[in-house]
Amino acid sequence: MTTLDNDKSYYEKIISQVKRELCIQRQVAVDRRSKKSKRECQYNKISWVPCFSILYLRKYKKARDRLAMADQAVVDANNTLIAYRASLHEKINSMYCLQTEKENIEDKIKKTVEDVGSLKKLAAQLSESDDFWRDFYTYHIKFTSETVKDLIEIFRTGSSKNHEHSIKAFKISCLEYGEAEAYGNSRWSHLQVDYNCSDCGVNHTGWPILDIKTEHGLLCSVCGSHAQESRISVVSFSSKKSAQSTMNSKKNFVYQVKPRLTKMIKRMFPKSIPHGIMFSSVSAAKSL
């Protein structure tokens, strides 16, 4: 910017000088035009006199040439002024573009500083949240699980040893669990981050859902719901398919066992077999 400012001052100074020179040249041109008109009138009046006509013809040509030189000087000065004005206009445009670019860069720097501050603040909150929920898992969840196991063991064995102590420990653990969970939710449930959904590819602001398929992708609430519904459908279909396969294998087993069981019963009882015994045997094979 300093160089452009110097160039602007230089061109403004030159333009002022050229303007003054142009005014001088124009005045010279006016004077010589008057002189040329005067010599032309003199020559026209004395052109019929042989000796004087040659003298005034020379004076007229001299005035005419000087006028042409003065007019050319005016044209040159005017062209110079136009060129310097164009250069000055170009410098001004360059200064305007640089000033605009400078303002844009300053705005970007300001926004970047604000974003960095927000990210640092968010990182600190996430670090505090991570420490809190780790401690929550280490102490509250494990302690409550232990008290629940103790109560289950007491109810299972019917032992009255440390019965009241276990119940009291369970109540205290549940109370502390609820208070800690409520504090954690009220303190860190409002955290929001900017992220790109790995499924729909749209930028979102909020708290993302971890993509279980890729284990490192982030999903928005809509794509996360769809992924969960898909997993539930796949698990349900697999369970139905497994149950159907088990039933088919059981039927095949019955179809294979039934004729063998009938032959074995006929061998053991060569006489006529009551229908009820045969029916009970087949039913037993079906119940396998």
Q: In this predicted structure, what is the pLDDT of residue 1?
A: 55
Looking at residue 28, the DSSP 8-state letter turns out to be H
- Token couple for 5: 């400012």
**Model pTM?**
0.46
Query: Smallest Cα–Cα separation from 9: which of 102, 113, 132, 95?
Result: 95
Count of CB atoms situated within 10 Å of the CB of 19: 13
Q: In this predicted structure, what is the pLDDT of residue 162?
A: 65
Gap between the Cα atoms of 5 and 1, Å rounded: 6
Q: H or E segment at 200?
A: none
Q: Which region holds residue 258: left if phi is over 0, alpha if psi is between -120 and 50, else beta? A: alpha
Integer-rounded Cα radius of gyration of the chain = 53
Instruction: Please say whether the dihedral angle defined by the alpha carbons of residues 53, 55, 56 and 59, taken in this order, is positive or negative.
Output: positive
SS3 203: strand
Query: Smallest Cα–Cα separation from 90: which of 188, 174, 8?
Result: 8
Mean pLDDT by 10 residues, the chain (288 residues): 69 82 88 87 79 81 89 90 85 85 92 90 88 87 84 74 77 87 85 83 83 78 80 57 55 47 44 39 38
Q: In this predicted structure, what is the pLDDT of residue 113?
A: 93
Q: In this predicted structure, what is the pLDDT of residue 288?
A: 38
Count of CB atoms situated within 10 Å of the CB of 127: 10
